[in-house]
């Protein structure tokens, strides 16, 4: 396995470090081959939103944290990319909101289940669900390997967080009456459109922000009820799309010139 030394002054050092993390975890059997492709698609959308957590994303993070804190049986579903990029933050979040952590894979194999479980345990997780025989229940109407879930976890959850998902399961979980939180850089994806709370942001930025927000809101659960009453996912998602449109409108008005801050980062 070749790994490169990333010069800290490189304008895209952070993005390159994220890629290296995924490649390393790909070689360890955590990330699926398609996970590398999925990341490329995510990066493209990250360019469109300006590689920062937008206002609509922050609103969705507040709503998602509220839903998780008020949930009776919250579960965080973890796939290969999520484990590679934010294992520690995921475990931290699970502790704060008292959620179960469950491995759920599109490209399921026993080796990958175990590699992800091990990574989560190294990050401090106990009782990782969805591994081996534990994934014995099925989500109705779902053909892919994602249908296999734990009877103590996703099957009975009232709120499920699904970072970096593919659309079918989100839709199936919503049909089962669950509230679904998605983190997806693509605001046009089926996952983004079908979820109850859609955070259009990079998991790398959104997950630590979710941890901080949940920690703060935990002190004031009444506020969580109000946040949920005020939140409209469709409207918030439309704002994410409008933000991209406005950004490109401003760009085109400047004759295709980049914004100065974008130039700095090397767009």
Residues that bind ligand PTJ (CB under 6 A): 32, 34-35, 38-39, 41-42, 45, 79-81, 105-107, 164-166, 183-186, 189, 202-204
Contact (Cβ atoms closer than 8 angstroms) between residue 128 and residue 102 = yes
Cα–Cα dist 220/231, whole Å: 17
**Within 13 A of 193's CA, how many CA atoms are on the CB side?**
6
Residue 108 CB, shortest distance to ligand PTJ, in Å, is 7
Residue 184 CB, shortest distance to ligand PTJ, in Å, is 5
State which residue, 66 or 82, has the beta carbon closest to ligand PTJ.
82
State which residue, 70 or 237, has the beta carbon closest to ligand PTJ.
237
State which residue, 92 or 169, has the beta carbon closest to ligand PTJ.
169
- In angstroms, what CA-CA distances link 201 with 61, 85, 113, 148? 10, 14, 26, 27
Give me 74's structure tokens. 């919250």
Whose CB is nearest to ligand PTJ? 42
Residue 210 CB, shortest distance to ligand PTJ, in Å, is 13
Contact (Cβ atoms closer than 8 angstroms) between residue 60 and residue 199 = yes
State which residue, 35 or 224, has the beta carbon closest to ligand PTJ.
35
Cα–Cα dist 101/136, whole Å: 16
Residue 216 CB, shortest distance to ligand PTJ, in Å, is 23
Residue 177 CB, shortest distance to ligand PTJ, in Å, is 23
Consecutive H or E run containing 256: none
- In angstroms, what CA-CA distances link 233 with 1, 46, 104, 163, 224? 43, 20, 25, 16, 16
Could you list the beta-strand ranges (E) of the chain.
74-78, 100-103, 137-138, 148-149, 159-163, 179-183, 197-199
Cα–Cα dist 199/121, whole Å: 26
235 CB burial (10 A radius; 0-12, 13-18, 19+): exposed
State which residue, 51 or 184, has the beta carbon closest to ligand PTJ.
184
Residue 18 CB, shortest distance to ligand PTJ, in Å, is 7
Residue 247 CB, shortest distance to ligand PTJ, in Å, is 17
């Amino acid at each position: 396995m070749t790994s490169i030394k990333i010069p800290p002054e490189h304008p895209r050092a952070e993005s390159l470090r994220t890629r290296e993390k995924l490649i390393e975890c790909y070689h360890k059997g955590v990330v699926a081959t398609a996970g590398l492709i999925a990341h490329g698609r995510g990066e493209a959308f990250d360019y469109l939103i300006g590689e920062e957590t937008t206002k609509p994303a922050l609103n969705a993070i507040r709503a998602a944290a509220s839903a998780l804190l008020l949930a009776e049986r919250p579960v965080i579903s973890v796939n290969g990319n999520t484990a590679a990029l934010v294992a520690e933050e995921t475990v931290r979040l699970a502790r704060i909101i008292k959620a179960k952590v469950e491995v759920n894979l599109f490209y399921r194999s026993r080796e990958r289940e175990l590699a992800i479980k091990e990574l989560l345990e190294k990050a401090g997780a106990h009782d990782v669900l969805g591994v081996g025989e534990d994934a014995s229940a099925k989500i109705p109407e779902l053909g892919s390997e994602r249908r296999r879930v734990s009877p103590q976890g996703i099957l009975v959850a009232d709120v499920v967080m699904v970072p970096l998902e593919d659309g079918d399961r989100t839709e199936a979980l919503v049909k089962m009456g669950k509230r679904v939180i998605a983190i997806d850089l693509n605001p046009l994806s089926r996952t983004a459109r079908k979820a109850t709370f859609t955070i259009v942001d990079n998991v790398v930025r959104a997950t630590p922000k979710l941890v901080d927000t949940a920690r703060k809101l935990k002190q004031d659960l009444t506020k969580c009820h109000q946040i949920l009453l005020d939140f409209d996912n469709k409207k918030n998602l439309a704002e994410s799309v409008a933000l991209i449109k406005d950004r490109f409108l401003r760009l085109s008005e400047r004759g295709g010139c980049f914004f100065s801050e974008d130039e700095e980062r090397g767009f």
